[in-house]
């Protein structure tokens, strides 16, 4: 009997420990957050370990955010950060050979500043890397700032304050164009499609365009695309006058709002399929089906997605439930929405003439 109880306890502890190890392997950022707490206690006692606090605190927070971004942007491969201390005996020759930027990190008592600086460098370099090549400086900077703002607002208020004091404030004070773009992103984000549609489409753009950097045609198209999404985000519920299709050379996407209760109640997909057929015929690459996440409506959206895949050969790329603050009688009201992105299997790649000649000699 005693042996049995002992065996059961041992088994439970082993399974529990195994579970914890698996969880930590899948979520190393959680381990890093715990490690920071332990190092802080260690530092309090021994006054050693400031570097470990700085390193793991930044890695834990940024990697967690990157993972969240990966869930919001289906076509983005999340990238983590690895904070690496330079060797203190690194000679000038090593420094030139490594050819890398070295960022100064302050003592961990000023960790909020360290975090903000590392986060902004990380976002500049790692998010939307390909698409940024083709955007204007204002477009690139405003995107980095908005994503940085979202990252810092998730953290302690002190970090957000540091970000606004040292990065956001000075940049917005000096450029009206950046402020204008940030205001547009804010509106787009209210209806929950900043990452789900805007960033996603920019990522697709970066994957299919091979052109010289800062191509004016792409810059102009992205400006129109941002305005299009702003118009959609400012749409009053039921307003059918607002454009829901965007057709330009590089970006071709349509938003199909599935919320006509009488049609969903009847379960009649035909009017939607007919409309989607016109988008397919118009060579729209990405079609976003958006509607209420209520069970009946969600099932209806899924049914439409299935039919589109069967009839037109489009593929379901991504689906997500999210909160949107939509305009109902002039007031922003939070609702639970559901989105499915269906994507054409035949996406077009663009090479500009100069590059084409260089690559293919034509």
Partner 1 sequence: MEYLLPKEEVSVVHDNDLENFLNSLGMLRKFQRGEVKCKFCKTRVTVENLHSVFPQSGAIKIVCDNPDCIRELSKLLREGTISL
Q: Confirm or reject binding of residue 99 to partner 1 (CB under 8 A).
A: yes
CA-to-CA separations, 217 to 122, 134, 250, 272, in angstroms, rounded = 28, 9, 9, 32
* 122, 62 contact by CB (below 8 A): yes
Structure-block tokens of residue 16: 């529990």
Measured between alpha carbons, how far is 283 from 278 in angstroms, rounded to an integer? 9
Q: Confirm or reject binding of residue 79 to partner 1 (CB under 8 A).
A: yes
- In 3D space, the residue among 142, 218, 133, 132 whose CA is nearest the CA of residue 186 turns out to be 142
- Closer residue to partner 1 in complex, CB, 86/237: 86
For residue 84, the minimal CB distance to partner 1 (Å) is 5
- Closer residue to partner 1 in complex, CB, 89/240: 89
> Based on the number of CB atoms within 10 Å of its own CB, is 78 exposed (0-12), middle (13-18) or buried (19 or more)?
middle
Choose one: 21-29, 230-238, 252-260, 302-310; the region binding partner 1 (CB under 8 A): 21-29
Which residue reads 């690496």 in tokens?
84
Q: Confirm or reject binding of residue 244 to partner 1 (CB under 8 A).
A: no
Measured between alpha carbons, how far is 203 from 131 in angstroms, rounded to an integer? 6
Measured between alpha carbons, how far is 321 from 324 in angstroms, rounded to an integer? 10
- Closer residue to partner 1 in complex, CB, 112/144: 144
Choose one: 96-104, 200-208, 277-285, 297-305; the region binding partner 1 (CB under 8 A): 96-104
Q: Confirm or reject binding of residue 19 to partner 1 (CB under 8 A).
A: no
> Based on the number of CB atoms within 10 Å of its own CB, is 121 exposed (0-12), middle (13-18) or buried (19 or more)?
middle
Q: Confirm or reject binding of residue 323 to partner 1 (CB under 8 A).
A: no
Q: Looking at the DSSP assignment, which residues form a beta bridge with residue 258?
A: 291
Choose one: 73-81, 252-260, 297-305, 336-344; the region binding partner 1 (CB under 8 A): 73-81
Residue of 1, 5, 89, 330 that binds partner 1 (CB under 8 A): 89
Choose one: 4-12, 137-145, 186-194, 320-328; the region binding partner 1 (CB under 8 A): 137-145
* 197, 177 contact by CB (below 8 A): no
Binding characters for partner 1, 177-216, by CB under 8 A (x = yes): ------------------------------------x---
Residues of this chain that interact with partner 1 (CB under 8 A) are 25-29, 50-51, 54-55, 63, 66-67, 77-86, 88-92, 95-96, 98-107, 117-118, 120-122, 124-126, 129, 132-133, 137, 140-141, 144, 166-167, 170-171, 174, 213
């Amino acid at each position: 009997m005693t042996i049995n109880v002992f065996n059961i306890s041992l088994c439970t502890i082993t399974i529990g420990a195994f579970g914890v190890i698996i969880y930590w392997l899948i979520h190393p950022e959680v381990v890093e957050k715990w490690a920071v707490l332990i190092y802080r206690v260690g530092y309090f006692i021994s006054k050693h370990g400031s570097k470990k606090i700085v390193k793991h605190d930044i890695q834990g927070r940024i990697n967690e955010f990157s993972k969240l971004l990966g869930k919001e942007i289906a076509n983005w491969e999340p990238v983590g950060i690895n904070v690496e201390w330079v060797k203190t005996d690194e000679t000038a020759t090593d420094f030139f050979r490594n050819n890398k930027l070295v960022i100064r990190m302050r003592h961990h008592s000023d960790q909020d500043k360290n975090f903000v600086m590392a986060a902004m460098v990380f976002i500049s370099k790692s998010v939307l890397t390909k698409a940024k090549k083709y955007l204007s400086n204002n477009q690139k900077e405003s995107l980095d700032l908005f994503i940085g703002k979202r990252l810092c607002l998730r953290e302690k208020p002190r970090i957000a304050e540091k970000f606004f004091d040292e990065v956001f404030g000075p940049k917005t004070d000096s450029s009206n164009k950046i402020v204008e773009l940030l205001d547009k992103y804010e509106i787009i984000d209210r209806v929950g499609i900043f990452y789900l549609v805007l960033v996603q489409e920019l990522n697709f753009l970066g994957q299919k365009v091979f052109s010289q950097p800062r191509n004016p045609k792409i810059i102009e198209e992205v400006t129109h695309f941002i305005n299009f999404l702003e118009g959609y985000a400012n749409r009053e519920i039921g307003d059918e006058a607002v454009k829901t299709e965007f057709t330009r050379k590089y970006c071709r996407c349509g938003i199909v709002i599935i919320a006509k209760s009488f049609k969903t109640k009847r379960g009649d997909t035909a009017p939607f399929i007919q409309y989607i057929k016109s988008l397919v015929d118009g060579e729209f690459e990405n079609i976003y089906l958006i509607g209420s996440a209520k069970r009946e409506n969600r099932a209806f959206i899924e049914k439409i997605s299935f039919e589109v895949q069967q009839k037109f050969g489009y593929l379901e790329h991504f689906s997500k439930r999210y909160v949107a603050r939509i305009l109902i009688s002039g007031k922003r009201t939070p609702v639970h929405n559901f989105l499915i992105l269906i994507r054409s299997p035949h996406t077009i790649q663009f090479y500009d003439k100069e590059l084409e000649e260089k690559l293919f000699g034509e």
